[in-house]
Structure 1
Amino acid sequence: MAAQNQKPLGTGFTPHTPAAEIMEGVRLDGKTAVVTGGYSGIGLEVVKALTKAGAEVVAPARDKRKADEAFASAGLAVATLEMDLANLTSVYEAAAEIGDGHNSVDLLFNNAGVMACPETRVGPGWEYQFAVNHMGHFVFTRELMPYLLNGGGARVVTTSSVGHKRCRMRWDDIHFEKEPYDKWLAYAQSKTANALFALELNNRRAKDGVKSFSVHPGPVFTDIQRHITEDELIAMGWVKPGGGLSDEARDYVKSPSEGAATLLWAATSPLLDNRGGEYCEDCDIAAMSTPEAPRWVNVAEWAVDDDAAKRLWAMTEDMVLAASA
């Protein structure tokens, strides 16, 4: 049923709606929000908006010192703790630490990620982008589930990307063990996995009061592009030779605040109270992709497929179990 649910609601927001407009009138006093990747880029804008709305924010970070410095510089009071999404032992420990200090979690933003990085192996040989972007968040969400259930209407928002349109799940070679590593296919697959994870999480937990959504924040220049060369940015159509945004990119590249807006909308909008599992963009539910659709919008059918979502969930559980054996 997932694809049938991918119909925009006509919210009236635009790709360039800022986070402040989405959060106008929203109060989160007494709520606890956990944000991965919260100390830079769109994650930092999410944290700013949540704290302004009165939420208590917990931000796991691979580099706690760097996170503390970023929040202090922004004048934010945010609880931080160490967590490396590529190291499941670290993920288990971080979730336990959060649970020790909180009876419930109301909002979980699975936002941290890596993009188009050189080939790296972690754990028992897992491909790094899939391990960080999908598997680390899978385990983190699973470990926080008792506290999300205590939230009495919690929402989980997982950051995907329109980059998913470049690659469906590579079921027979998820970790690039048979074919040569391709950093863009690896990234795209991990973003497909993010959308499928959000869908299956909702299918499994909506009945218990935990809603789940995936989000394409839009193209935003942040530190996540650190592995992308200028030539690649030119080839992607983001910048023009010699520097500066291309004419095409001027229409769709967003500021970090504009990128954060859809994450915040998915986490707080009452329009989603009776929905769940959808892939969202531009502060609305995304439409299904068509051959005529621009490459930077809409969602591919393979990222909102219930059977694929269930298959990925089972495969991920098997990988995690095998790694712990």
Structure 2
Amino acid sequence: MQFTRLPHPSPTPDHVRAELIADPGFGTVFTDHMVVIDYDEALGGWQTPTIGPRQPIPLDPAASVLHYAQEIFEGMKAYAHPEGGLSLFRPEANAARFNASARRMAMPEIPQETFIAAVREAVLADANWLPPIAGGALYIRPFMFASEAFLGVRPAKQYKFVVIICSVGNYFKKGVNPVKIWVAQDYTRAAPGGTGAAKTGGNYAASLVPQAQATAHGCDQVVFLDAKEHKWVEELGGMNLFFVRADGSVITPPLTGTILPGITRDSLIAMLREEGLTVREEPYSIDQWREEAASGMLLEVMACGTAAVVTPVGTVASPEGEFHIGAGGIGQMTSKMRERLVGVQNGQIADSHGWVMRV
């Protein structure tokens, strides 16, 4: 695929970039370039891709995304590789999930090779923005939105696919330490038949009020229960969950259409089974969580996602009180899975699954 390259009139000076990426935090330090590919049904679909300076996107006030929320996105990372250059982790899985989200939101699918080519071009353009710190990475945000200007309720006929990148460190400010989570009381993230399995902005908007409640109660994240019975654990605001038990089993909530099918989740299932553990995708209730934590059956709880990788859950809080998991530290299996996953991603551990793609 041929990309039209647009000149950058004022790239960030080297000394400014060095200062920015020395301690980038998460999600606020953006790189110089972006990829844009337009879709126009009347012109036959996807048009010539461009890579140029990151800049504001002109948008008509009647653009469909502003009124009917046709918007999807992905989250990926590029990592330093010990042999030089950068690598991606399972980009084809991101492309597949992106298209699954597109189908649910009545948006056009983008060819997998186009998706991956756009990501690679963006990463190559800004490889020098990789933070030189432990855990540093380039966080890649491919997204697509309806750009057609109209006010009728129907799928749009024009879209923009864009890739932007930011330099990141650890997702949680306190690093890899047990997080405290709040059980959502009056809110649910998704319902059967809804958009819970799609990576669309509305799902995250719905989590903001309960997340604010979690913060007000001194918690790091919110955990959602199912919409029907308000009993079964589903996922955090942006991460999947695993329950590591003393009988050698691990339970993770099943993908029934209300939970985002996490790529980190899928990777952990494979790795846990390689460790000899029995992984079951089955419902797990908040009452079972509380009871097994008290009895000692529950040894660890792992939260996982692209941004946070693998993070231990130490405390669960609700109006009924708090309960703790294990000894409250970073459990043995959580630590092992995090080290193994990060090791594969950054090339320190052999990639037996073919998950890593060199850029």
TM-score by length of 1: 0.25
Structure with more strand by fraction: 2
**Which one has the largest radius of gyration?**
2
Which has the bigger relative contact order, CA under 8 A and spacing at least 6? 1
Q: TM-score, normalised by structure 2?
A: 0.23
Larger helix share, 1 or 2: 1
